[in-house]
Amino acid sequence: MAATYVTEAELRSNLGIGSLYTSGTIEEICQTAEDLINKYLWFNDAPVIGTSLSNNTASVVLANPGIFVVGQSIVIADSGATYNGTYTLTGAFPGSTVPATIGTALFTQLQFSNYPTGYSIIQYAKTASDDPFHFIKPYGSARGPEFKTTSYALTPAVRESAMIIAVDIFQSRQVSQTGGVGMDGITASPYRLGFQLINRIRGMLQPYASPNTLVG
């Protein structure tokens, strides 16, 4: 899927590079900028920390105390080819009776007796071979429907942030040691893609940032 926060045509125009460089290269830069920014934005999602499959029923463990309900359509991503995709939930705990397919071993391993420590389990139908419970690292994601009226692709602050990141990535491909400068004028990192990369756009993203990114 093509990037939408900053498109290939927009980046080419801003950089003044016309038809130079392949479409794959420019699109990859746009998608990288979008992926980075998405890690800071607020979505209706939760981290996937573990998965299992038994009797054609997938069980997905979330690091979130129950934000999805039975009948809801969600998108599982970055959790392995067997589990990735769009599904309708057939089970959720807490919130419904614990299905037998989850198994007591899983509850013991995750110490659900300590709930609400932050875990929940969702289930959906999936025709595939049985797969024993295993952790997902780095975490995957489970995303439910969005209810806000304006997408981030139409939010000016997000689009401008994506353009800034994309330009920095492109320029770093040409000259790696083009340093990022902090607000106090000090070059905190000798590289444009150092930790100052996101810091330069945090002000624009702040109104849309997930509270999870404000910790630490």
Residues 88-104 pLDDT 10s:
999 888 765 555 555 55
User: CA-CA distance, 136 to 62, in Å (whole number)?
Assistant: 10
pLDDT exceeding 90 applies to what percent of the chain? 51
**Residue whose tokens read 């013991």:** 108
Q: What is the pLDDT of residues 109-127, one digit of tens each?
A: 555 545 446 788 899 999 9
Query: Rounded CA gap, 207 and 62, in Å?
Result: 26
Pair 182, 190: CB distance under 8 Å:
no
What does the DSSP assignment read for 26-85? HHHHHHHHHHHHHTTB--SEEEEEEEEEETTEEEEEESSS----TT-EEEEESS-TTT-E
What is the structure's pLDDT at 115? 47
pLDDT greater than 80 at residue 179: no
The model's pTM: 0.77
Predicted confidence at residue 191, as pLDDT, reads 64
**Three-state SS at 152:** helix
d(CA 140, CA 137): 8
Tell me the C-alpha distance between 120 and 34, whole Å: 29
Per-residue pLDDT tens over the stretch 38-68? 999 999 999 999 898 988 999 999 988 878 9
66-83 pLDDT tens trace: 789 899 999 999 999 999
What is the C-alpha to C-alpha distance for residues 50 and 106, in angstroms, rounded to an integer? 10
| Residue pair 47/62 in contact by the 8 Å Cβ criterion | yes
What pLDDT, on the 0 to 100 scale, is given for residue 119?
81
pLDDT at position 8 over 60: yes
**Averaged pLDDT for residues 180-205:** 70
Interatomic CA distance for residues 37 and 198, integer angstroms: 8
Residue 174 clears pLDDT 90, i.e. is over it: no
For 124-145, b/e burial (b = at least 16 CB within 10 A) is bebeeeebebeebeebbbbebe
